[in-house]
Chain A
Amino acid sequence: MPSEGQLRQLWNLSDNVLYPEAVTFLRRLVNEQGCATLPASQVTGLLNIANASIYSELVRFIRHQQERNWPESKKDIKIFYAELEKWLTTFRNRRLRDEFHLGRGNQEVDELMALLAREFIQHLVAENGVLAVRRASARVQPRVQKR
């Protein structure tokens, strides 16, 4: 269980760092690299795991999704999970201990990472929905204009 102080830090971090980074993360994949947004089934699965699991199970799920043999039409899902794992690993190894002034114990690190990952994934999912709708209406508009 995080302390009250850690919880306040987590909330500050979620607003000031995780939210803008989640927006940048997804816009880079979708708008710059041309990846598809994450389909609804993946969004539901990822949210369920993030909300219910300990950090190691979340990482196992993300790796499993990466290693699946996706058909060509769904290869963007693999890219999404690879990028997500990279982001989480970087955050855990380089930033978490500094942000929370943590010692060497791994259990506390994993407990906080589970909460941080949950926040980050919730922000990703919210942005994913907006980008998916934007893409869908961009596909419809040229058809409407042609008529």
Chain B
Amino acid sequence: MNTEMQILREVNITAENFYDDAMEHGKHAAYVLTKAHRSQMTGLENIADSAPKVSDILDYIKRQTARFPYWRQSFPGEKPSDEAFGERLKKYLEDNLVKKRDAICNTLKIGDQTDQHKTWRRYTYLLLIRQFIRQVVAEYEYRVSFELDRKRA
């Protein structure tokens, strides 16, 4: 199996472990964005899927957090968070997913010295972020669909 395939396999295994965290971020997103700001979630998913660099995704989260007050709202749900939605998401990507990237790279013996290794590290990190955001968006869509059903009823 080549390195890209090994990375993909490890990322898929790891993604099972952060599913619960993604659910919490998805609930937070549904609470602050509601159905009215659905384009914010599709925008996030699009940038995560198309960006060649992690910093593009982090910059996007920062820009949206600075521009829109709903990205700066906390979450009073079952597992409340005092942190703003955007700040919490950015911190998760920068702290938790970096640790997971490092663990995968250690397992696959990917260092950070050669250009090839740096590229694989970036690729691993991008795949982890894409998986996480996909899960967040799925939970968001699920939550806000109930909101719409309630309104119709």
Using CB atoms, name the residue of chain B closest to A127: B62
A126–B119 touching, CB < 8 Å: no
B119–A14 touching, CB < 8 Å: no
Expressed in whole angstroms, the minimum distance between the Cβ of B60 and any Cβ of chain A is: 8
Among listed A5-13, A50-58, A59-67, interface-contacting one? A5-13
Expressed in whole angstroms, the minimum distance between the Cβ of A77 and any Cβ of chain B is: 19
A19 to B65, CA, bound (A): 17
A123 beta carbon closer than 8 Å to chain B: yes
Q: Please encode chain B, from 52 to 75, with 1 for each CB lying within 8 Å of some chain A CB and 0 for all others.
A: 111100111011011100001000
A8 to B67, CA, bound (A): 30
B118 beta carbon closer than 8 Å to chain A: yes
Given contacts A14-B53, A122-B59, contact A133 B122 (CB under 8 A): no
76-118 of chain B: CB within 8 A of chain A: 112, 115, 118
Expressed in whole angstroms, the minimum distance between the Cβ of B3 and any Cβ of chain A is: 15
Contact residue among A5, A9, A18, A130 (Cβ-Cβ distance under 8 Å from B55): A18
Using CB atoms, name the residue of chain A closest to B115: A9
B58–A19 touching, CB < 8 Å: yes
115-139 of chain A: CB within 8 A of chain B: 119, 122-123, 126-127, 129-130, 132-133, 137
Interface size on B, residues (CB 8 A): 19
Q: Please encode chain A, from 101 to 127, with 1 for each CB lying within 8 Å of some chain B CB and 0 for all others.
A: 000000000000000000100110011
Expressed in whole angstroms, the minimum distance between the Cβ of A57 and any Cβ of chain B is: 23
Expressed in whole angstroms, the minimum distance between the Cβ of A126 and any Cβ of chain B is: 4
Contact residue among B59, B62, B63, B122 (Cβ-Cβ distance under 8 Å from A11): B122
A18 cross-chain contacts in B, Cβ below 8 A: 55
B112 cross-chain contacts in A, Cβ below 8 A: 16
A14 to B52, CA, bound (A): 10
Q: A11-B52, A12-B122, A129-B65 are in contact. List 5 more A-B contacts (CB 8 A).
A: A5-B115, A8-B119, A15-B54, A16-B112, A119-B55
Instruction: Give the 4 A-B residue pairs with the shortest CB-CB distance, closest first.
Output: A129-B66, A126-B59, A19-B55, A126-B62
17 A-B pairs within 8 Å (CB atoms) are namely A5-B115, A8-B115, A11-B119, A12-B115, A14-B55, A18-B55, A19-B55, A19-B58, A122-B59, A123-B55, A123-B59, A126-B62, A129-B62, A130-B62, A132-B66, A133-B66, A133-B72
Instruction: Please list the residues of chain A having a beta carbon within 8 angstroms of any beta carbon in chain B.
Output: 5, 8-9, 11-12, 14-16, 18-19, 119, 122-123, 126-127, 129-130, 132-133, 137
